[in-house]
Chain A
Amino acid sequence: MNDLAQMIIISRYQFRNYLRAKRLLILFLITIIIAAIYLIVVSIYVNPEDMTVKNFSRNWASPVSFLVILASLFFGGDAIAGEYQNRTGYFLFPNPIKRYTIIWGKFLASFLASLIVVLSYWVIAIVDIFYYYSTIPNAVWYSLSLSILFLISLLSLTYLFSSLFKSGAIAITIVAIIYFFVFNIVDSISMLSGVEPWFSITYGASVITLVFDGNYIGDYTHKQVMQAGKHMNFTTYNPYIWEGIAIMVLYFVISAILASIIFRYKEMK
C-alpha cells in the first residue's frame, strides 16, 4: 500500500469536506468582499496617477496576511483536533495507514483550499494593477510567492496547535487568539524593548509588503528608533527579505516536525 496514494486519498476527502461544509465557499466570499471593498475605495478616494505602481500594489498586498490567517483558521484549525472531538478518528485511525500519511494528506488539502482563496485575491489585485498601470511590477510576483510561503508556514503552525488539542473549537479559538493578538503584542513589546522579534512569524511575514520597498533585497531601513518623549524610545524593526524567508521556513519545518510527532503518538482515549 503506497503512502503517497493514501495521502492523496485522504487529501481528496478532506477537500470534499471543505466543499460540502461550504467552508471554501464562505472564505471565498469573504475574499471577494475584501477585494470588492478595496476596489470601491480605490475608485472613489484614490487617484492611481498620484501613486507609483509599487505603492498601489503594496496597498493590495496589505490584507493578504489577514487572509492567510483566516484561511489557516478555516482549513487547519480543527483538521486534526476534529478527528478526536467528533470521534471520526475511531473510523479513520484503525486502518493500515500511517499517522504521518493522514496528517500530510490533510495538510495538502488545507493548503490547496487556502491557495485557491489567496490566489483568487491576487488575481483580482493583479487585474486591477494592470488596469490602471498596464504593467505588473516584479515585486508583485515576489510578494505573491512570499504570501504562499507564509501560508505554508502558518498552516504548519496551525496544524501543530490542532494536533495539541482534542477539541476543534478550542484549537480554532486558541489559534485565532495567538495570531490576532499574541503575535501583535509580541511585535509591540519589541517596539518598546528594542529587541528584534525574529521569533515572531508575523514579523517574518511583513516581508510580503516590505518587498515593495527598495530593490527586493531588503535595502530599506532595518531598524528605526523614534524618540517619544524625554525617556522613551520606539524601535521599529523591518526584517530583511532573507530574514523573513528564514523565519517562515523555520516555522514551517519545526511546526511540521512537531505536529507529525505529536499526532503520531496522540491517543484516542
Chain B
Amino acid sequence: MDIEAINLTKKYGSFYALKDLNLKISGSKCVGYLGPNGAGKTTTLKLFTHLLNPTRGEAIINGYNVNKEIKKALRDVGTLIETPDFYPYLTPIETLEMLCRIRFADRCEIKNALEEVGMYEWRNKKIGKFSKGMKQRIAIAAALVTNPSVIILDEPTTGMDPKGMVEIRYVIKNLKKEKRLIFMSSHLLPEVTEVCDEVAMINCGTLLLYDSIHSIMEKFRGHAVEVAAMNEISVDRIMNIKGVKSVEKITPTKIRIDFEDGAEMQHKILQSLLKMGIKVVEYRSAGIALEKAYIELIGGGKK
C-alpha cells in the first residue's frame, strides 16, 4: 500500500496548481492533506485518480503510474473526489452494483457499505431525488464497496450535517482498523486531528510539511490556556502567578493566559488558580497544535 508523487506538477498557462510535489506515503495509516482553498489539494487527488493529466512528474499508486497504467494503478483504490453526482435513473444498489461490475468485485459488500453510511433504507430509491448530503454518503459507500486497500477522499464530510459528519468520521476511524492507507484532504483541522495519523500541508501548490500528528503536537504545542470560572475572575491576581506572561479577559468569567513553557507550567498555573479560590469549570489549551502549525506555515506561505 503506497502512494507516491514524484515531481508531480500541474500547470494551467503560467499558473502552477501544483509544483514539483514529492511525497511518499506507505503502509496502513490515515494521512490528512491540509491546505487553504486553491492550495492544490484537489488537484493532487485528481492527478492520483486520473481525472487530470500531469504537466510533468508521476503519480504512482502501489508501484504503478496512474497516467500510464490506470487499470493496475486504480485496481485497489476507492475514491471520492469533490461531490460526485450519480446517474439519476439508478438506485443506490444499482449504482454500487455498476461499480462492482466495472471492477469485477464481489457484490456482497453492497449491503454493508450502504448500512455503514446510513443509506440502506434508501437503497431502492432513484438517486436523482437525493440531497447533496445523501449523495455524499453514497459516494463514500462507493469508495468503500470494493474493499480497497487504498482510499482517496477529497473533503469527505463536505455538504453534511453535523450528525452526518460525526458518522462519517466514525466510518473512517473504523477503516483504519482494517489495514488500509487513507489519503484524505480536508480544511477542518479538528477533523484531521481526530481521524488522521499523519498530516501533509500544502499551499500555493507546494508541500510545506509532512509529519505525524504526534510530532506536530510536539513541535507546535501551544503555550496558552483558556480558563472559565463560575464567578468573575480578577486579572491582576493572576498576573502574579509565576510563569504567566500575559492575561487577556475574554468575558468577565473567561480569560486566556499566556505562559512561558511546558506542560508542567500549565499544571502549576491550574493549581495556583484553585489555591486562589477561583472556581474553575473549564481549563483547556487555547488552540490546537495543528492549528498553530497551519497558521504558522500557511501564513508564511502567503507572504
Contacts and interface: CB of A to CB of B under 8 A. Distances in A.
Interface of A: 1, 5-6, 9-10, 13, 16-17, 20-21, 86-91, 93-98, 265, 267-269
Given A91-B95, A93-B51, 13 more contacts: A1-B103, A1-B104, A9-B102, A16-B89, A17-B87, A88-B87, A94-B51, A94-B74, A94-B79, A94-B81, A96-B103, A265-B53, A267-B51
A187 to B, nearest CB: 38
Interface string B28-54: 000000000000000000100111110
A262 to B, nearest CB: 13
Contacts of A9: 98, 101-102
A268 B102 contact: no
A98 B102 CA distance: 11
Interface string B85-124: 1110110000100110111100000000000000000000
B102 A87 contact: no
B81 A10 contact: no
Contacts of A21: 89
Given A96-B103, A97-B102, A91 B84 contact: yes
A259 B82 CA distance: 26
Nearest to A97: B102
B46 A268 contact: yes
Q: Which of B52, B83, B104 has the most CB of A within 10 A?
A: B104
B52 A267 contact: yes
B233 interface: no
B53 A95 contact: no
A114 B119 CA distance: 36
Contacts of B104: 1, 5
B85 A94 contact: no
B51 A90 contact: yes
A5 B103 CA distance: 10
Contacts of A89: 51, 84
A6 B102 contact: yes
A17 B51 CA distance: 23
Contacts of B74: 94-96
A88 B84 contact: yes
Q: Which of A1, A13, A91, A98 has the most CB of B within 10 A?
A: A91
Interface in B234-251: none
A90 B82 contact: yes
Contact of B85 (A5, A87, A97): A87
Nearest to B139: A91
A20 B87 CA distance: 11
A96 B100 CA distance: 11
Contacts of A90: 51, 81-85
Contacts of A96: 70-75, 77, 102-103
Nearest to A94: B49
23 contacts: A1-B104, A5-B104, A13-B90, A17-B87, A21-B89, A87-B82, A88-B85, A88-B87, A89-B84, A90-B85, A93-B49, A95-B74, A95-B99, A96-B71, A96-B72, A96-B73, A96-B75, A96-B77, A96-B103, A267-B46, A267-B52, A268-B46, A268-B52
Q: Which of B50, B72, B82, B90 has the most CB of A within 10 A?
A: B50
A90 B139 CA distance: 10
**Which 6 A-B residue pairings sit nearest by Cβ, starting from the closest?**
A90-B84, A94-B49, A20-B89, A268-B51, A87-B85, A94-B79
A256 B70 CA distance: 22
Contacts of B83: 87, 90
B85 A17 contact: no
B50 A91 contact: no
Nearest to B66: A94
A1 B71 contact: yes
Nearest to A20: B89
A94 B89 contact: no
B25 interface: no
A247 to B, nearest CB: 34
B80 to A, nearest CB: 8
B51 A10 contact: no
A94 B139 contact: no
Given A20-B89, A98-B70, A87 B103 contact: no
Given A1-B103, A17-B89, A97 B71 contact: yes
Contacts of A265: 53
Interface in B4-47: 46
Contact of A93 (B50, B73, B95, B152): B50
B122 to A, nearest CB: 17
A251 to B, nearest CB: 28
B142 interface: yes
B189 to A, nearest CB: 25
B98 A87 contact: no
Contacts of A5: 104
A93 B79 CA distance: 10
A238 to B, nearest CB: 44
